[in-house]
Amino acid sequence: MELNDVIWPLLIGFLLDTILGDPRWLPHPIRLFGHSISFFTRKLNSGKYKKAKGALMATLLISCTYVATWLILEAAREIDFLAVALASLGVFYGLASHSLISEAHQVIATLEKHGLEAGRRQLSYIVGRDTTNLDEQQIRTAVLETLAENLSDGVIAPLFFYALGGVPAMMAYKMANTLDSMIGYKNEQFSQFGWFSARFDDLLNFIPARLTALLMVLISASWRGTVFVFRYGNQHASPNSGYPEAALAGILNGRFGGPNVYHGTLVSKPYIGQASRTFTNTDCYKTYLINFFSCLVMIGLICGIQFL
């Protein structure tokens, strides 16, 4: 890719994400991804050979996403600036920095203004755990865990794949991540059909998750965060999520993990960290800044590499 094909779409897309976030009125390719996954899941997730059918569906959807995006951008090169405009739009759609921070802050603001029940309800929109009986400390903990985990999935990983292969690779990653979020569950319905999607998403996020943890501790200049990454990063059920969560637990000198209810089942997770102190709104505000500057530094690194 030429220099302008990389840097301008990245900067314009980041600026659009920072200003606009993810307005609900705007059509979004992730919704198309979700509809496609739902359609084929209804057709294929039954009978024999569920693992094979799930793997085939995921492979085709990810491949088609990459090829379709590449073809659109190649065709746009015939018109001045159109390819840069479409690539910028792709980066805007691929990044979730603004929306991640905004949705997390909505939970905290709702908790403060409208009380515990409203905070639980708002939290239920962004996490998979049962929020019915959570107290204020558990709500803030869930928000912080979500900010850390999704900084990797929704921000650093898309940028990592953009650096490797431009908007087509970024969109292909988003399809893979959407597949995992929709069918990558270890339950009766998806344990076989979604097995490939879950494992492939783990593979794709192996480097970005660890890179995210590194960025977080560097930005915070937190030695304790670095220690926590090595001590607790592999304690999570996910092979990747534990690393950014461990980094944030160390930065804030707090503790994540432990038992939570998911879809009516109590799931015991190892604790990440030791100090079970009460998290405050200040911890949340600090994490917003860590997330934003992690994104900014990652973009700076990508731009810097282009000049080497």
Mapped to the 3 state alphabet, what secondary structure does 123-180 carry?
HCCCCCECCCCCCHHHHHHHHHHHHHHHHHHHHHHHHHHHHHHHHHHHHHHHHHHHHH
**What pTM does this model have?**
0.94
Q: Indicate whether 7 pLDDT > 60.
A: yes
Q: Which range of residues forms the domain containing residue 34?
A: 3-306
Pick the more confident residue, 43 or 186: 43
Residue 178 is predicted with a pLDDT of 97
Q: Which of the four pLDDT bands, split at 50, 70 and 90, describes residue 264?
A: low
Contact 92, 171 (CB under 8 A): no
Q: Indicate whether 86 pLDDT > 60.
A: yes
Residue 25 is predicted with a pLDDT of 79
SS3 261: strand
Residue 263 is predicted with a pLDDT of 63
Q: Indicate whether 228 pLDDT > 60.
A: yes
Q: Indicate whether 1 pLDDT > 70.
A: no
Q: How many domains does the chain have?
A: 1
Tell the burial category of 207 from Cβ atoms under 10 Å away from its Cβ (0-12, 13-18, 19+): middle
Q: Indicate whether 3 pLDDT > 90.
A: no
Q: Which of the four pLDDT bands, split at 50, 70 and 90, describes residue 216?
A: very high
Segment among 29-38, 199-208, 232-241 with least mean pLDDT: 232-241
